[in-house]
Amino acid sequence: MSDRLRDALISQSRSCETLGSPFMGRLMALFAERLQFGSSVADRILEWPGDVGPTGHSVPLRLAGALHGLVLERLALTEVYPPTQVSDDMLWAEVIRAFNAHSERIHRWLDSPPQTNEVRRSAALILGASLLSQQFGLPLVLSELGASAGLNLNFDRYRLGPYGAPDSAVSLTPDLAGPLPPVSALNVIDRAGVDLNPLDPNKDKLRLLAYLWPDQPERLALT
């Protein structure tokens, strides 16, 4: 394994750990330790040209989404992914089995850049929009580059304690620190997003969920 791939896998492992997914941190660390040539999927990952890290092709993230997609479709790995607890050896054996049994499907996931749809990011948008609305008293026009499915363009329709839409079914509960802006009504009069591969929330549910990790059920529930 090249140093750049190992570094990318370790970096992804640390990011997952830091962001509250110890299972995915563990899985990425296993890839950094154990991935070897021997299947079309492993060979492709090990021979991937160019920047494989988060500033380039984000290969570890593509791989993580591909495997979680198999779980969500109940095609593979369901017996070793959360909430089930298994040994590293058992988990790795099932990963290799999935590589061999579902290589074409995994390759299709590897073909496409990751698209994350983290609704919790809307918490910062709600607070920022509340501050702007209080200071300027003007309606809001929203524009987003790389919007994916556009879930965060709807931040004014989510609830964050006393902020946002009080009757929303989507309730955000982040840990907040420091002074908070006044509660202000959010008047969004227009919103638009662009993306190289825009997703339809009604048709692309699997892709929306695959990049949310299996040991973070609250993120899956919000999305």
Q: What is the pLDDT of residues 38-74, one digit of tens each?
A: 999 999 999 999 999 988 999 999 999 999 999 999 9
In a domain, 96, yes or no: yes
Tokens of 85: 């607890």
Asked whether the bond before 162 is cis by omega within 30 degrees of 0, the reply is no
Q: What is the residue-averaged pLDDT of the chain?
A: 92
Q: Note whether 144 and 185 are same-domain residues.
A: yes
Q: Note whether 47 and 102 are same-domain residues.
A: yes
Domain boundary among 59, 79, 111: 111
pLDDT reported for residue 176: 87
pTM score, two decimals?
Answer: 0.81
Please determine, for residue 133, whether its predicted confidence score (pLDDT) is greater than 90: yes
- Give CA torsion, residues 150, 219, 26, 11, to 10 deg: 40
Split into its structural domains, the chain has a count of: 2
Parent domain of 104: 3-111
Tell me which H or E stretch contains 142.
Answer: strand 140-145
Per DSSP, 171 falls in state B
In a domain, 72, yes or no: yes
Contacts 24+ apart (CB under 8 A), 203-207: 204/149, 206/69, 206/72, 206/73, 207/65, 207/69, 207/115
Q: Note whether 88 and 178 are same-domain residues.
A: no
Please determine, for residue 91, whether its predicted confidence score (pLDDT) is greater than 90: yes
Q: Note whether 190 and 90 are same-domain residues.
A: no
Q: Note whether 104 and 166 are same-domain residues.
A: no
